[in-house]
Structure 1
Amino acid sequence: MPLVTQKTDLTVADFFAKKISNQRIKEDCETLLTLKQEVSACKPLVWGNYFIIGFGSYTYQRKGQKENLEWFHMGFAPRSNKITLYLGFDITTRLDLLEKLGKHKCGKGCLYINKLADIEITVLKELLLLSKTARWH
């Protein structure tokens, strides 16, 4: 079964202009866009109906399946009052960095932040560099 979240034709500029109404979120996303482009050296693309901005891509197969699937190395998704950051590895294995990051919540491959001012950008950059080369499989 193919993934629901796939690359779209929507431009990042159009997405920012039409879909992000919170000015602080928009400013934080513009900063993240610059940072992630710098780290990944990849053009940002809008993925899926939940509007994830993804950087780079790789192909993988789910365990026990033959179909090739495409996913991004790293990404982020602005929400109404927070930002979800997607990383390509189990970030809970890097408690040393998470302890220095600042105010956040996390899942296995996601960071949830309210605003960039709450976190240490240098630590986030370290996590992004790890994500650039990591793969879940």
Structure 2
Amino acid sequence: MYELKTKENESNVIEFIENVESPKKREDAFRLLDIFTETSGYMANMWGPSIIGFGSYHYKYASGHEGDAPLVGFSPRKAKISLYFATGDTEREALLKEFGKHTSGKACVYINKVDDIDVEVLKKLINQSIKFLRETYPQE
């Protein structure tokens, strides 16, 4: 049986951020922590060794694969900061056009620093992601 690696755990979010090597990334991580906490209304929790997640939802795919994931989150990685929003939401793509300097993969949006992006659009992305996931995976 497939074991999900990214699980919510009891690791300390503040300690994790304090151990980020780059002072600028550490400063940005604290800024993002404030923005995500305030906007989402959820307290931060560690998911796996390096993702700071907010809220959670349970998903189940047609294939039978299921699990839990944060509604939104971020990770201050060495190369770039990864932002996690819902995938499959068409409104996400429209908001990203106004977001500022970023690149995106299937599940992540990557930024170099918070100063490169529009924080108001970030807040819209957080709210839209939570709304989309709550509608797609209603809590039972």
Q: Give the whole-Å Cα distance in 2 for the aligned partners of 1:60 and 1:90.
A: 13
Q: TM-score, normalised by structure 1?
A: 0.88
**What's the offset of the Cα at 1:97?**
2.0
2:81 and 2:112 in contact (8 A); partners too: yes
Q: Give the whole-Å Cα distance in 2 for the aligned partners of 1:39 and 1:125.
A: 6
Q: Give the whole-Å Cα distance in 2 for the aligned partners of 1:101 and 1:54.
A: 20
| Pairwise CA RMSD | 1.8
Q: Cα deviations across residues 70-116 of structure 1 (Å, max 9, x unaligned)?
A: 11100001111320000023366544322211110012332100001
Q: Which residue of 1 is the match for residue 22 of structure 2?
A: 22
The structure-2 alpha-carbon separation of the partners of 1:16 and 1:4, relative to structure 1 and needing over 3 Å to count, comes to same
Q: Which residue of 2 is the match for residue 36 of structure 1?
A: 36
Q: Give the whole-Å Cα distance in 2 for the aligned partners of 1:24 and 1:9.
A: 26
1:25 and 1:81 in contact (8 A); partners too: no
The structure-2 alpha-carbon separation of the partners of 1:62 and 1:13, relative to structure 1 and needing over 3 Å to count, comes to same
Q: Which residue of 1 is the match for residue 70 of structure 2?
A: 72
Q: Give the whole-Å Cα distance in 2 for the aligned partners of 1:94 and 1:134.
A: 10
2:53 and 2:73 in contact (8 A); partners too: yes
Q: Which residue of 2 is the match for residue 54 of structure 1?
A: 53
Structure 1 residue 87 corresponds to structure 2 residue 85: yes
Aligned residues: 134
Structure 1 residue 11 corresponds to structure 2 residue 12: yes
The structure-2 alpha-carbon separation of the partners of 1:47 and 1:95, relative to structure 1 and needing over 3 Å to count, comes to closer
The residue identity in structure 1 corresponding to 2:6 is: T
Structure 1 residue 110 corresponds to structure 2 residue 108: yes
> Structure 1 vs Structure 2: percent identity of aligned residues?
37
Q: Give the whole-Å Cα distance in 1 for the aligned partners of 2:17 and 2:92.
A: 31
Q: Which residue of 2 is the match for residue 96 of structure 1?
A: 94
**5+ residue gaps, structure 2:** none
